[in-house]
Amino acid sequence: MRLILASTSPARLSVLRAAGIEPVCYSPEVDEEAEVAVREETLGRAMTAAEMVEYLGMLKAEDVARRHGPDLDGLILGGDSAFLLDGETLGKPHLPEVALERSKAHRGRTGVLHSGHWLIDHRGGKPHAAVGEVDTATVTLAADVSDEELAAYVATGEPLELAGGFAIDGLAGAFIERIEGAPSCVIGLSLPALRRMVTSLGAAYPELWNAQGGPDE
């Protein structure tokens, strides 16, 4: 049983590969800001961060299913992540100065990472059912990380395209003092949530193991 990943995120891909799953990857074509604006207008209110990441995960999975449908035989996974500090949703910093400002604000404090998922049962080349789930973890940045250390990290470019601006599985691992929740959730794809969703669709999670270290090796 193949997992089709509606994402080109290197972080999500690395999480799956480390878990013994080699997915087929497709790039979703979703204008996230526009879609969120339309959804919020329909709702008549702003979406919570948890609602937003699940909604965007759904749109990404459905987009890939719609554009590549007959060629896809397996489970299609879409996902999105959002990091909150003081209740404010912080997207990818993109710019070094933004990443540095946010990392200084996070220092010695705890942020919340929401990872949204949407899984479509597309076995046999057609959709049967779908399920979504949001997993949440908290991330505490060490209080004694110096300005120089943070500037050096930002200068590597690693945090610029990461929600929250830190990669626990990368260069910033030494700066993160504590995580509560699934470590994979912080990276951008919660493996416990994926297992629960696969099971709820009537499939067996171990059937996804097809990479090095899996039963098909």
Catalytic residue among 63, 80, 121, 135: 80
Chain centre to alpha carbon of residue 65: 19
C-alpha atoms less than 13 angstroms from C-alpha of 29 in its C-beta half-sphere: 4
CB contact at 8 A, 188 and 195 = no
Which residues, 6 or more positions from 72, have their beta carbon under 8 angstroms from its beta carbon? 4, 24, 64, 65, 122, 125
Q: Please give the helix or strand (H or E) that residue 130 lies within, else none.
A: strand 129-141
Told to judge if 80 belongs to the known catalytic residues of this protein, a careful annotator would answer yes
**Nearest Cα to Cα of residue 57 among 84, 75, 30:** 30
Alpha helices in the chain (DSSP H): 10-18, 32-43, 49-68, 96-106, 147-155, 183-187, 191-200
Give the active site residues.
80
